[in-house]
Structure 1
């Protein structure tokens, strides 16, 4: 039994070191996202969404680093990644707009000037929209028009169209009789 432990001792120490390093990196990234979110007054739901993206990144890094620590050669990685990316390339080509919306959601987290509750106007020649931002999701925004209509608007279009702020922190019950 001691022979088995001594033969994999280095791999175990590398694994422990990798886990500790990734936990520290994960903590730093989450604290940074939280500070950016609080400073920009971003809704807690969007901050939690960013935490999910950070967890996925850490998982991918852990898989990669642990594979190297336990003896997977770089040539093996080349074979695995070329096969995976060939399959993903064909699959992702079909869903490029979903990826575009996710990427736009990440960009909007860090640099979107509008908040939930703001009344905005989207200057689109085919379908101009004036509405209040109800929610900002990973793929789309929920916009509520003055007529009460709920519009789901893709994140990537928010970055492509001209948008102006009509009123900051407009109330959703505006114009309705109070009880």
Structure 2
């Protein structure tokens, strides 16, 4: 009975999902080709592709209720309630929000990349190592003794950093990590 009642909506949802999958495939392929041509690091290419995928999922989640006949006013009420709860929750855990914001800033304008050897001038805990990964919340730094240090993005933007050696490891070594 459900499938008979919502047959056209289910078909439209299937078409939307297929369209979004095709857009994701085309965009990730183009991003990867253009990025490699411009010498962008593999870790950043993967991060860009993740952001594209999340954006397409959010677009799909926004369009599907309209396919099933939801009125914009009803959807606005749901979203405002959800955003209010999320806002209160994020205020309570501001350091996570700070790290996400720092991760976005680092993604857009971070002068260092995976493979660079850097020194972080932290008064209490100075570090020197090779950047292994830059994620949404933290940066992974491999020290000379082999230890892996996870350093929060918000602290990374608050500390002075010195570039010691550019591309201390190559992309092939990063793929194996």
TM-score with structure 1 length normalisation?
Answer: 0.71
1:177 alignment partner in structure 2: none
Cα distance between partner residues in 2 of 1:29 and 1:159: 30
Corresponding residue to 2:66 among 40, 48, 68? 68
Shift of 1:147: 4.9
1:98 alignment partner in structure 2: 96
1:54 alignment partner in structure 2: 52
Cα distance between partner residues in 1 of 2:31 and 2:100: 17
Unmatched 5+ stretches in structure 2:
170-177
1:84 alignment partner in structure 2: 82
Shift of 1:79: 1.3
Shift of 1:49: 4.1
Cα distance between partner residues in 1 of 2:30 and 2:102: 19
TM-score with structure 2 length normalisation?
Answer: 0.72
Deviations 1:37-83 (A, max 9, x none): 43343234x53344333333222211211111210001101210111
Corresponding residue to 1:162 among 141, 160, 163? 160
2:150 alignment partner in structure 1: 152
1:115 alignment partner in structure 2: 113
Cα distance between partner residues in 1 of 2:152 and 2:70: 41
Cα distance between partner residues in 2 of 1:65 and 1:56: 14
Shift of 1:32: 4.8
Cα distance between partner residues in 2 of 1:19 and 1:145: 44
Unmatched 5+ stretches in structure 1:
172-179
Cα distance between partner residues in 2 of 1:34 and 1:136: 18
Structure number with greater Rg is: 1
Shift of 1:143: 1.8
SS in 2 for 1:170: coil
Matched, 1:26 2:24: yes
Shift of 1:98: 1.7
Shift of 1:13: 6.1
1:130 alignment partner in structure 2: 128
Cα distance between partner residues in 2 of 1:105 and 1:138: 5
Q: Is the 8 A contact 1:36 1:110 kept in 2?
A: no
2:42 alignment partner in structure 1: 43
Shift of 1:149: 4.5
